[in-house]
Amino acid sequence: MTAVAILLASFASILAVFLTGLPVFVAFMLLNIAGVWFYFSGPGFGMLTNSMYETLSSPTLVALPMFILMGEILFRSGVTDILYRALDVLLGRSRLRLYYLSILLSTTFGALSGAAMAVVAMMGRTLYPGMLARGYDRRLTAGTIMAGASLAPIIPPSVLAVIIASLANISVAGLLIAGVLPGLMLAALFLIYVVSAVAIDPDRAPTVADGRQSVTWGQRARAVLLTLPFGLVILSVLGVILAGIVTPEESAATGVLGALLVSVVFGKLSMRTLFEAVAVSARTTAIVLLIMMSSKMFGQLLAFSGATQSLIDTVSGLDIDPWLMLAILMAIPFVICMFLDSIAVMLILVPIYIPIVGHFQYDVIWFWALFLINITVGGITPPFGYTIFAFKSAVPDLPMREIYAAAWPYVGVFLVGMLLVVLFPALATYLPKLV
Amino acid sequence: MFGLVASLLDRLVTVLGWIGAFLIGLIPAIYCYEVAARYFFSAPTTWSYESGGYLLCLGTLLCAPVVTREHGHVAIVFVAETLPMASRRRLESAIGLAAAAVCLAVAATTADEVSSQIARNVQTTAAFAIPKWWLTAALPYALAASGLYFIRDAILTRAAPSA
């Protein structure tokens, strides 16, 4: 069997096993057993243990549970409600006010939590019903919330960025910071899209500014004061990395400390909240890391089979334009993420992509930042985006076809954003060069 | 007998799951301590960096069976969801048994490797080295307990009355 045939067979096998409904980590293990048996027979199984141990004890991945814990503390303690009310006061009386609030909130929550599903579930339950009651367009509202929440894995702290950096063996700090400007740019693009959509069809926003009373300067000042502690949380993650004071793993720890301090300052932290946050974070970590530990051997087997080298030889023999190759490399996860879990897709594709990225001499931070955005879009790409499902669970009355229709325009906005990052690489590479 | 074993397994998994969560919760405390020790006392530790990895490894594995018990693992189930209920139950039961077989097989191989590590006194390759089996011993536990839960689910799915 040629190496390329092995690669295709492996890829087809893993997809087929996934589709049976076998848990993803078990699916990888099954193929690992088959692969080890095929190449090494019995004595090779010791490698399986060591491969799993290496992943689980990787100091790079230590940031992952801490970023999850940070978001859990903030959301479970309820301090995010304070931020919500403060930003609401600061936004004035525009008739698009709640659209702005939705985008601003999701961007801020993105900087406080690394997981889109938590943000979309919370905003779906809190913001969406209020916006609908005030006459905002339900598709535009749903789309704004889903797309805004999808900024969470792009703007640091980001669980996905830690995973990609760890798999691709690049700087975790670099990839985390690389998400800042693209994330903010995407938030700006969402604003532009909302304003344009309402300009084209004015019925998509209420005719008056939802009847709210005018806000006094005293209320505004108080609202600004209320937002300041959240700046401390963002500073305790982003600021300390940018300043070069701590490693990314340590910044995750200082982020947890910042989240705890903010919850204490607002009098919202209880031991029960803390226990629940730690327990949920540990379980979420176990879910992600079990998949990662099982998939590592899959990549190692591919390399051992010669499939990876053969892929490089094949690709280098194609004499293909690097831009076209980039488009192909981005199109593959974009399509697959419509149907499969984004982490599973990453674990299959990253080991295959690493040598190709090296061969075409793409800037690694730029390429993997694009990949990160691409994988994130998968969360809102119908029919099987996880962010879509999380929103549906928060808003069960909204039909799925409406949610799909709400998501598509924002998928388009994301693609425009990715194109801008392709055309202006400094968007992703400028800040990491400062670290 | 089956009920007693299931109950004991549940208790063990719950207790070890809490210990696992505690270990994960210790990680930020250790890293914050390291930052404080480095900047405020000019006394960086030699153990914090690697101990974070060790705690992550143990914590994850001790929590893994809890996730299995709560059906928390990621799976691509949209094909199964298109099937009629009876066929879906059969598929889920078969998938549960397959998952159990894989987990128990890998648990057995990891147990072999752990006993070999104990016999050879293998240490972790780090500045702050510890016997490797202190960590890897949790692998057979996590996989075997998960395997048992997959078997239990497969049996319960098969036995459940049709809708």
DSSP string covering B36-81, please?
Answer: HHHHHSS---SSHHHHHHHHHHHHHHHHHHHHHHTT-S-B--HHHH
- Ranked by mean pLDDT, the top range of A378-382, B28-32, B46-50 is B28-32
DSSP state of A215: P
For helices A138-149 and A116-133, what crossing angle results, to 10°?
Answer: 160
A78: DSSP letter:
T
Of the candidates A111, A109, A137, the residue with the CA atom closest to the CA atom of residue A123: A109
Lowest mean pLDDT among A95-99, A259-263, A264-268, B147-151: A95-99
pTM attached to this predicted model: 0.85
Query: Given an 8 Å threshold on Cβ–Cβ distance, is B27 in contact with A340?
Result: no
Share in percent of chain A as helix, strand, coil (round to 5): 80, 0, 20
Whether the per-residue pLDDT at A259 is higher than 90: the answer is yes
Q: What are the pLDDT digits (tens) for B82-114?
A: 889 888 889 999 999 999 999 999 999 999 999
How confident is the model at residue A108, as a pLDDT? 84
Share of residues in chain A with pLDDT > 90 (%): 40
Query: What pLDDT is recorded for position A75?
Result: 84
Contact status of B57 with chain A (Cβ, < 8 Å): yes
pLDDT, greater one: B7 or A385: B7
Whether A56 sits inside 8 A of B57 (CB atoms) is: yes
**Using 50, 70 and 90 to split pLDDT, how confident is the model at A212?**
low
Q: Is B112 in contact with A46 (Cβ distance < 8 A)?
A: yes
What is the number of helices (H) and of strands (E) in chain B? 6, 0
pLDDT of residue A209: 58
Query: Are A56 and B105 inside 8 Å of each other by CB?
Result: no
pLDDT surpasses 50 at B163:
no
What residues does A409 pair with on adjacent strands? none
CA distances from A290 to A134, A283, A370, A388 (A): 44, 11, 26, 24
* Half-sphere exposure in the Cβ direction for B56 (13 Å, CA): 32
In Å, how far is B4's CA from the nearest CA of chain A?
26
If you average pLDDT over each of A124-133, A193-202, A295-304, which comes out highest?
A: A193-202
Interval B36-58 mean pLDDT: 92
Residues 6+ apart with CB under 8 A from B51: B30, B128
Residue B90 Cα, gap to closest chain A Cα (Å): 12
The stretch A291-300 carries a mean pLDDT of 85
A9: confidence class by pLDDT, cuts 50, 70, 90: confident
Cα distance between residue A334 and residue A351, in whole Å:
17
pLDDT tens by residue, A35-74: 888 888 767 788 888 889 988 998 888 998 998 899 889 8
> How far, rounded to the nearest angstrom, does the alpha carbon of residue B118 sit from its chain's CA centroid?
20
Please report, rounded to a whole number, the percentage of residues in chain B having pLDDT higher than 90.
Answer: 69
Q: Are B63 and A293 in contact (CB under 8 A)?
A: no
Instruction: Give residue A137's pLDDT.
Output: 93
CB contact under 8 A, B60 and A29: no
Which residues are CB-neighbours of A75 under 8 A, at least 6 positions away?
A113, A118, A122
Which chain A residues are within 8 Å of B44, Cβ to Cβ?
A: none
Asked if A94 has any chain B CB less than 8 Å from its own CB, the reply is: no
Judged by a CB distance cut-off of 8 A, whether residue A57 touches chain B is yes
CB proximity A63 to B under 8 Å? no
Split into its structural domains, chain B has a count of: 1
**Which residues from A are below 8 Å from B128, CB to CB?**
none
Instruction: Choose among A111, A89, A23: nearest CA to A294.
Output: A23
Write out chain A residues lying below 8 Å of B136, CB-based: 49, 53
- Which pairs from B34-39 meet CB under 8 Å and 24+ separation? B34/A250, B35/A245, B35/A246, B35/A250, B35/A253, B35/A254, B39/A245
Closest CA to B67 of A18, A287, A28: A287
Q: Could you read off the pLDDT of B101-155 as tens digits, one per residue?
A: 999 999 999 999 999 999 999 999 888 899 999 999 999 999 999 999 999 999 8
Give contacts of A295 with chain B, Cβ < 8 Å.
Answer: none
- Is the pLDDT at A423 greater than 80? The verdict is yes
Q: Which residues of B touch A56 (CB under 8 A)?
A: 53, 56-57, 60-61, 135
**To the nearest whole angstrom, how far is the Cα of A13 from the nearest Cα of chain B?**
14
How many Å apart are CA A109 and CA A112, to the nearest integer? 5
Q: Enter the tokens of residue A303.
A: 């390399």
Answer whether residue B14 shows pLDDT above 90.
Answer: yes
Strand ranges for A102-245 from DSSP E: none
Q: Which residues of A292-327 are buried (b: 16+ CB within 10 A; e: fewer)?
A: bbbbbbbbbbbebbebbebbbeebeeeeeeeeebbe
Q: Which of A67, A227, A254, A59 lies closest to A153, judged by CA?
A: A67
CA distance A289 to chain B (A): 7
For residues A73 and A277, the answer to whether their CB atoms sit within 8 Å is yes
Return the amino acid letter for A96: L
| pLDDT digit string, tens, across residues A164-195 | 998 899 999 999 999 999 999 999 999 999 99
Report residue A23: phi and psi, to 5°. -50, 140
- Nearest Cα neighbor of B28 from A152, A64, A112, A262 is A64
Question: Where are the extended beta strands (E) located within A190-235?
Answer: none
**Domain interval for residue B27:** 2-159
Q: Measure A256 CA to nearest chain B CA, in Å.
A: 7
Residue B22 in contact with partner chain A when CB distance is under 8 A: yes
The answer for A 222-261 residues in CB contact with B (under 8 A) is 245-246, 249-250, 252-254, 256-257
Q: Is the CB of A59 inside 8 Å of chain B's CB atoms?
A: yes
Please give the structure tokens belonging to residue B139: 């692998």
pLDDT band at A141 (very low <50, low <70, confident <90, very high): very high
pLDDT digits (tens, 9 = 90+) for A328-355: 999 998 988 887 777 778 888 898 899 8
